[in-house]
Amino acid sequence: MRRFEGRTAIVTGATMGIGEATARRLAAEGARVVLVARGAERGEALAAELGGGAVFVAGDVADPRTAAAAVAAAGELDVLVNNAGIDHSEPLLEADLDHARAVFETNVHGALSMLVAAARSMRDSGRGGSIVNVTSRLAVAGVPTLAVYSASKGALLSLTRTAAVELAPHRIRVNAVAPGLTRTQMVTAWVEAQPDPSTFEASVAQTIPQARFAEPEEVAAAIVFLAAPEAGHITGASIAVDGGYTAA
């Protein structure tokens, strides 16, 4: 039996990388998926490909109206995957507060907006549900030039833990998945922009105990596990999918 048969899931940042891999896996396991992203053409094409009642909601999670539209499109909601986020890199002493605000608007405020709207729907329906926030290895590890991004993901991890405790009486579970370097379009573009991409990737991979980047599907597997019924007694947890980076 498919684990998500008869269930509805919202996935933000659903048209690329980890979000797309997660949406595909949820759909394959029977979920009706509500895809949320900014790119309409790609989103509508993916919804048509997934079938099973999949729908696309165009919007930026930094705009609270996006959360309302996504929850309305879902109807009775069972799962939220808070995956949308933006990266940012600059030396800390040159930090631009406008850039920092933009990162927090998406990575923290946008995720909070989605979480609150989804949790209200799950509470009001009496069905409960599962929320999975996609954080980062950098929520607990410091890397130069990534202070603002790390802080945003650390805030999301703290939100995960507190929400798990507060929402438990409503049978709503809240967990996090913390990816390390993952072979997404963004990371691939970063590698290919280097003077010697192959040498650069090999040197970066050596900082990871498993000596390789993750694949989006590997991160999606952890997300889907936490969202699934068999993880019913897991809440407030964070699973690292980083090849051992944060264990070293």
Alpha helices by DSSP H, the chain? 17-28, 40-50, 64-74, 97-104, 111-125, 147-167, 185-192, 197-205, 216-227
Catalytic residue among 56, 149, 213, 245: 149
Report the Cα 198 to chain-centroid distance in Å: 28
* 245 counts as catalytic: no
Q: Give dist(CA 30, CA 41) in Å, integer.
A: 24
- Tokens (6 digits) for 52: 């099973």
Instruction: Please check whether residue 102 is in contact with residue 37, taking contact to mean a CB–CB distance below 8 angstroms.
Output: no
CA distances to 7, 119, 234 from 79, in Å: 8, 9, 14
- Tokens (6 digits) for 222: 């952890």
Q: Which among 117, 38, 45 has a CA at the least distance from the CA of 74?
A: 117
Q: Among all residues, which ones are annotated catalytic? A: 149
